[in-house]
Structure 1
Amino acid sequence: MTVEPGVRVGQDSDAAVIERSRDEPEAFAALFDRHADSVHRYAARRLGAEVAEDVMAETFTTAFQQRFRYDTELADARPWLFGIATNLIGRHRRAEGRRLRALARLPAPTGGGAEEAVADLVADRVSAQALRRELAAALARLPARHRDVLLLVAWADLGYEEAARALGVPVGTVRSRLHRARRKVREALGGSDPTALREESDDDE
């Protein structure tokens, strides 16, 4: 049996929670309990912990206000929530760019520190210590629309179809943007791709 992330066996799906919350607004708190931490982590990696708190809160405020428009045929609400969060992050493009450029200028880490979030992307086969600064610089140079796709897949752990739903674009557009973003990252990092934590076959739709 497949259970959506954040949902325990026997619990209602996200869609069921949202549907119930239309008549019982307090029921929406269950969605917050399931997904607030992951939305906060995603926003913190992109903007820093202080701004992330506001983004997370506004994400769920917006979701609550828009719950009557949610398609309850879609059991998992994560793409919807991360789409809202990504739109809110879009209002902080300059702050995100400054954060990434600042991380790129940091000295080589000795453990801990603000740059840890960037290193979370790095696969076991890649040296996190060597790539933190280079990865931050590579991400900073990506067009915003490409960075959004890349980080929804790598940081929010969305599949291609889920990322497409989050951004309101076709799956083919997600694949194209992700391919270009990863190519740019590989070029910047000498062939390594620490963002390739989730791979899907080109045949997966």
Structure 2
Amino acid sequence: MNRFKRVKAVDVGTLTDGAVIERSIRDSESFAVIFDRHAPYIHRYLARRLGAGIADDLAAETFLVAFRRRERYDTARPDARPWLYGIATNIVSQHRREEEREYRLRQAYVPATSEASHDDRVATVVTAQSLRRMLFGALAELSTGDRDVLLLIAWEELTYDEAAAALGIPVGTVRSRLNRARRLLRDALGGDSTITIEEAMSNG
């Protein structure tokens, strides 16, 4: 997955992402630090959305796109992760059908449970599986914009401001999309107000 040569951490390890990217304009190998800092998170995000089989290639593509666009990065921003999530989300947008198919597959998949499990443990597992099936089915039905906002906040724990920066939309739009997505998913989960959407998605 790593197509960038590494530089010694002592050279730029204490710099902000913005400073590292600024340096990488004249010293391209410095960009490897951005990869090392954020690749695991971007890879996880892509694997969650499109499956592990394609995540390696798309994570590499994300960082290659970022590398080519690094001169456009606002170096006053100390954390490049929202920017990288935005690039990754744009790449996901090219694979919408694959993403929806991935959720349908997860909706259909039911992990085996041990027959030796206690009754209460079995009941808990069955309930969790039922919630996950409903959740992934609902995710496949969300509009792309609502799904992007929801997953960046619920899975990747971005703030509203960070999600807005990642997607290039106003914070108010993030709030309205998130509220709509939460309402639709809560309806899909039977209107259960005792569990938050983030909790339902925490092991997604």
The interval holding the TM-score normalised by the smaller chain is 0.7 to 0.9
Q: Structure 1 residues 155-164 or 35-44, which shifts more?
A: 155-164
Structure 1 stretches of 5 or more lacking a match? 1-9, 112-126, 198-205
The unaligned stretches of length 5 or more in structure 2 are 1-12, 115-126, 200-204
Distance 1:100 1:177, change over 3 A: same
Which position in structure 2 is the counterpart of 1:171? 171
Q: Which of 28, 38, 41 is residue 41 of structure 2 equivalent to?
A: 38
Q: Give the conservation status (yes or no) of the 8 Å contact 1:150–1:195.
A: no
Identity of aligned residues (%): 58
Q: Does structure 1 residue 86 correspond to structure 2 residue 69?
A: no
Counterpart AA for 2:139: L
Q: TM-score, normalised by structure 2?
A: 0.80
Q: CA distance change for structure 1 residues 94 and 21 in 2, over 3 Å: closer, same or farther? A: same
Separation in structure 2 between the aligned mates of residue 155 and residue 106 of structure 1, nearest angstrom? 20
Please tell me whether the aligned partners of residues 82 and 156 of structure 1 are also in contact (alpha carbons under 8 angstroms): no
Other-structure match for 2:117: none
- 1:16 paired residue among 9, 14, 19: 19
CA distance in 1, matches of 2:112, 2:41: 25
Residues 4-33 of structure 1: per-residue CA shift (max 9 Å, x gap): xxxxxx721111110111111000000000
Report the Cα distance in structure 2 between the residues aligned to 1:158 and 1:110, rounded to whole angstroms. 34
Tell me if 1:98 matches 2:101: yes
Give, as a single letter, the amino acid of the residue that structure 2 aligns with 1:170.
P
CA 1:130–1:108 in structure 2 vs 1: closer, same or farther (change >3 Å)?
A: farther
Give the Cα–Cα distance (whole angstroms) in 2 for the partners of residues 54 and 106 of structure 1: 25
Which portions of structure 1, spanning 4 or more consecutive aligned residues, are displaced by more than 4 angstroms? none
Q: More helix by proportion, 1 or 2?
A: 2
Is the contact made by 1:101 and 1:136 (CA closer than 8 Å) also made in structure 2? Answer: yes
- The root-mean-square deviation of aligned C-alpha atoms, in Å, is 1.6
Question: In the aligned structure 1, how far is the partner of 2:112 from the partner of 2:99?
Answer: 20
Q: Find the aligned partners of 1:85 and 1:128 in 2 and give their Cα distance.
A: 29
Task: Give the superposition deviation at 1:102.
Answer: 1.6
Q: Which has the larger radius of gyration?
A: 2
2:198 paired residue among 172, 196, 199: 196
Could you tell me the TM-score, scaled by structure 1's length?
0.80
